[in-house]
Amino acid sequence: MAFPERFSNLPEYAFPRLRALLDHHQPGGDPVVMTIGEPRHEMPPFLADVLTANLDSFAKYPVNEGIPPLLDAIVAWVSRRYGVTLGADQLMVLNGTREGLFNAALALCPEQKAGAKPVILTPNPFYQVYAVAALAVGAEPHYVPATDATGHLPDYANLPSDLLDRVAIAYICSPANPQGAVADAAYWRALIALAEKHDFQIFADECYSEIYRDTPPPGVLEIAQSMGTDPERVLSFHSLSKRSNLPGLRSGFVAGGHESIRRIRQLRAYAGAPLPEPLQHVAAAAWNDEAHVDRSRALYQQKYALADRIFGNVPGYQGPEAGFFLWLPVEDGEKAALQLWCEDGLRVLPGAYLSRDSGTENPGTGFVRVAMVAPIDELEDGLRRLRAALYR
């Protein structure tokens, strides 16, 4: 039997790879898991009533592009948050951002660019769906280091001009997973100008946009609007997983130009799985409420302060601007993760599992990623033990 070659060089996904590294060892202390970015703050309590009131809708096939109350709630949120007015036909409801980040590439990446195989740019390290999307559409993934030297965001502008001419899509995550860096307005303007010069689309993964220290991160939609950019140039992906502590709801959206969204909707009508209608009503209620988001953000701000107190004098430590991950410097992330588990019962993710070799090095090798999602007392215990174990 023949199998496709396009995915044959994919490494094992980060979490199965971590289980293979650690699970045949006993933890060396009371286990504290700080690997997966699964929010553990309280989900909005009023949503249970919304779900109960709409249970009978499970008996119906759901609307593919999103029910009007959900689209209206998203339009209102984008207007409140970014000052951008969208039409409902500029939105597509998603089963979380991962599905959208993948399927948008299927719908929008051309078969050729500049007479050659298209290129899809991705920061390195990165959310792994970007690479799989590139391979699925027959594009060439190009990994661009996002390191301290570049402000932990990719410097796409310094790529060769002939390579940029072949770029069809550039993925960018802001706030960044795993480093917590934020693309400021100047970064967005420069990237949009580059996309206009070389005629590619920007896929902005902004699912951590509502978790930040003090200043709301600017979004690609507001910057593009201020520049008078063609709306087809940018797509913005958002989710309730992090904003509203609802990772199991699997609800998000993509916003963009009318033609881009038309093509995404058309593909999804054939191959997608619409969000069940009762869950769409739950999502609408979540987008319409900011009080629960404010409460959750305040807890993350306490966690930033805690991490800064514990790691502030560690050479190379940079507290995240936003998001909920620590990107901690070590000599070798995989060795550190194994040692932390075997000697201390602390479970963290090696940075190399989130990145690829880029030239002669893997930019994630010298880091571990730590998710600050646990209740603060549990987190403080884990971070203090982590500080003692890693930097003793």
Domain boundaries of the chain, sorted by first residue: 14-42+292-390, 47-289
> Mean pLDDT of all residues in the chain?
96
- For the beta sheet containing 140-145, the strands, ordered from the edge strand earlier in sequence to the opposite edge, are 91-94, 252-255, 234-239, 201-205, 167-173, 119-124, 140-145
What value does the mean pLDDT take over residues 195-212?
Answer: 98
Tell me what the mean pLDDT of segment 167-173 comes to: 98
Helix and strand totals (H; E) in the chain: 14, 12
pTM of the model: 0.97
CATH of domain 47-289: 3.40.640.10
pLDDT, residue 168, reads 98
Give me the pLDDT at residue 10, please: 85
Cis previous bond, 175, omega within 30: yes
Model confidence over 301-311: pLDDT tens digits?
999 999 999 99
Question: Cα 123–166–11 angle (5° rounding)?
Answer: 40
Would you call the peptide bond into 320 cis, given omega within 30 degrees of 0 as the criterion? no
- The three-class DSSP label of residue 192 is helix
Report the C-alpha gap between 35 and 254 in whole angstroms: 27
pLDDT of residue 361 exceeding 80, the answer is yes
Helices (H), the chain: 14-22, 47-53, 68-82, 96-108, 129-136, 161-166, 185-198, 220-227, 240-243, 258-271, 277-287, 291-311, 333-344, 376-390
Fold identical between 14-42+292-390 and 47-289?
Answer: no
pLDDT in tens, 19-46: 999 999 999 999 999 999 999 999 999 9
Asked if the model's pLDDT at residue 350 lies above 90, the reply is yes
How far is 131 from 67, CA to CA, in rounded Å? 31
- Which pair of tokens denotes residue 127? 């959310």
Q: Are strands 140-145 and 167-173 parallel, antiparallel or unpaired?
A: unpaired
Confidence of residue 363 (pLDDT cuts 50, 70, 90): very high
Question: Which tokens sit at 350?
Answer: 């090696």
pLDDT of residue 241: 97
Question: Taking residues 356-363, what's their average pLDDT?
Answer: 86
Q: What's the pLDDT at 175?
A: 98
CA separation for the pair 197, 383 (Å, rounded): 45
H or E stretch including 63?
Answer: none
Mean pLDDT for the stretch of residues 79-101: 96
The model's pLDDT over 234-260, given as tens digits with 9 standing for 90+, comes to 999 999 999 999 999 999 999 999 999
> What is the C-alpha to C-alpha distance for residues 157 and 316, in angstroms, rounded to an integer?
26
Q: What was the pLDDT predicted at 272?
A: 84
Q: Tell me: pLDDT of 78 over 80.
A: yes
- The CATH architecture annotation of domain 14-42+292-390 reads Alpha-Beta Complex (3.90)
* Cβ atoms of residues 197 and 221 within 8 Å: no
